[in-house]
Amino acid sequence: MDSLTGLRWIAALMIFFLHIQSESNFFVADSRAQGALDSLLAAGRSGVSFFYILSGFVLAWSVRPADTTSRFLWRRFSKIYPNHFVTFLVACLLLSWRDMPVVDFERMFYNLTLLHSWVPGRDDIWYSFNAPSWSLSCEAFFYLCFPLLYAGLRRLKPAAWWGIAGSSLLFVAALPFAVKLLDEPFGWSAHFIVYHLPPVRMVEFLLGMCLALLVRGGHWRGPGMITGIAVIAAGMAVAAFLPEEYGLARDAACTVLGFTLLLPAAALADVRGTTSIWRAKRLVYLGEISFAFYMVHEICLYAVRHTFGDDEPHRPTVAALVLVLATFCFALVSAIVLHHGVEMPMMRVLTRRRNRPSEVAAAPADTAPPPVPVPTGGR
């Protein structure tokens, strides 16, 4: 699914620029440009939502019929944990470099066990060490639930998949606004509930799973990629003007419809072999390293800030742009090193140990999903 791989890079880039925007006092000199920058880049928050929907879509699309739960979970562990552990160690080195406390057994425990998104009201735990790793806590929960969710969904009829997908979409769209009607239920902040709590974010993952089943079964009837992109852009424009009081999940609420339209359209473009800008060779490669890029980009931003001085908010505009470009290049090179030096080798080593001869012999028949009866409608 090369188009989906290429789209992964766009989502990772959105998150990178979101964090550039959040550090705008460091990068932007002209205060008049601040508002425009905030509006343009803040919608990058929806990049995490896109990853969650895409994760559900890809896993449901690529299920191996003869697979077991233990092998599935081990592959997921082999994919995400080596990058997480290595970036955790690098983050510890950076904290030491800045003479900041590193040894905190509570934060280390939650971070290394991927439980840090489960702790209410503790942003020091959510964003500990390498801040973007908080989302892996949600992903780990999704992976644990996936075999049961998939088994349940496969027993349902396509009408139920449509119903679950529609209900999930409405839930994501309404949640940031509905939660404002409640006064810290269970004593938890709205931010924790709508942005960090894994069972809540799993609705996006479930949406992706249902979309994949609908496309695989030939039941998807939706518009093409151009419409999906236009709806996403409109959602980002709406999100830019919503009050901050609706929190970080407002962007996901405004873009979830566009993502719901774009992902099936991109998948069908690959199945049909029709034109897709997301299948460009270089873009697909960037999509392949997007997880590594996601895991290193804020560490690189942190290192650049410390190297060039945290206390220079009035940097000339040209110098600020050069720093943004340098940070991006630094993060890109670091991602390539992490992908080829850690992620891919560790996946090969760890999964090889789990593959018995009989499993290897069966692999060619199990790697591809069933043929997709593709509808011809939709543009």
pLDDT-based confidence at 14, cuts 50/70/90?
A: confident
> Is 109 a residue whose pLDDT tops 70?
yes
Output 250 or 313, whichever has higher pLDDT: 250
- pLDDT value for 310: 59
Q: Which residues contact 156 (CB under 8 A, 6 or more apart)?
A: 164
Mean pLDDT along residues 196-200:
92
Q: What was the pLDDT predicted at 247?
A: 61
In the predicted structure, residue 144 carries a pLDDT above the cut 90: yes
**What's the rounded mean pLDDT across residues 243-262?**
81
pLDDT value of residue 245: 61
pLDDT at 43 over 70: no
What average pLDDT is seen over the chain?
Answer: 83
Mean pLDDT calculated for residue range 354-370:
41
The answer to which of 20-29, 39-48, 191-200, 365-374 has the lowest mean pLDDT is: 365-374
Max CA-CA distance within the chain?
Answer: 65
Distance separating alpha carbons of residues 276 and 65, to the nearest angstrom = 29
pLDDT at 379: 34
Q: Where exactly are the structural domains of the chain? A: 2-366
- Asked whether the beta carbons of 24 and 37 are under 8 A apart, the reply is yes
- The answer to which of 65-69, 117-121, 152-156, 261-265 has the lowest mean pLDDT is 65-69
> Mean per-residue pLDDT for 258-264?
94
8 Å CB contact between 126 and 196: yes
Q: What is the pTM of this model?
A: 0.87
Give pLDDT, residue 37: 58
184 versus 329: the higher-pLDDT residue is 329
The predicted model gives 129-142 an average pLDDT of 94
Query: Is the pLDDT at 371 greater than 70, yes or no?
Result: no
Q: What CA–CA distance (Å, rounded) separates 17 from 27?
A: 11
- pLDDT attached to residue 42: 61
- More confident position, 18 or 375: 18
Q: What is the mean pLDDT of residues 342-371?
A: 60
Give the separation between CA 135 and CA 258, rounded to whole angstroms. Answer: 21
pLDDT, position 360: 36
pLDDT value of residue 80: 94
pLDDT at residue 214, as a whole number: 95
The pLDDT of residue 166: 95
Instruction: Report CA dihedral (172, 297, 96, 79) to the nearest 10 degrees.
Output: 70
Confidence (pLDDT) at 77: 94
Measure Cα distances from 245 to 171, 179, 334 in Å. 18, 11, 35
Per-residue confidence (pLDDT) for residue 123, from 0 to 100: 85
248-277 burial, b at 16+ Cβ within 10 Å, e below that, comes to bbbbbbbbbbbbbbbbbbbbbbbbeeeebe
Q: Is the per-residue pLDDT at 137 higher than 90?
A: yes
Confidence of residue 368 (pLDDT cuts 50, 70, 90): very low
Q: What is the mean pLDDT of residues 286-292?
A: 95
Res 364: pLDDT = 34
Which pLDDT score, from 0 to 100, does residue 370 have?
A: 44
Residue 91, number of CB atoms within 10 A of its CB: 21
Q: What is the 3-state secondary structure (H, E, C) of the chain?
A: CHHHHHHHHHHHHHHHHHHHHHCHHHHCCCCHHHHHHHHHHHHHHHHHHHHHHHHHHHHHHCCCCCCCHHHHHHHHHHHHHHHHHHHHHHHHHHHHHCCCCCCCHHHHHHHHCCCHHHCCCCHHHHCCCCHHHHHHHHHHHHHHHHHHHHHHHHCCCHHHHHHHHHHHHHHHHHHHHHHHHCCCHHHCCHHHHHHHCHHHHHHHHHHHHHHHHHHHCCCCCCCCHHHHHHHHHHHHHHHHHCCHHHCCCHHHHHHHHHHHHHHHHHHHHHHHCCCCHHHCHHHHHHHHCHHHHHHHHHHHHHHHHHHHCCCCCCCCHHHHHHHHHHHHHHHHHHHHHHHHHHHHHHHHHHHHHHCCHHHHHHHHHHCCCCCCCCCCCCC
Residue bearing the bigger pLDDT, 210 or 326: 210
Q: How far is CA 21 from the centre of its chain?
A: 18
* pLDDT score, position 361: 34
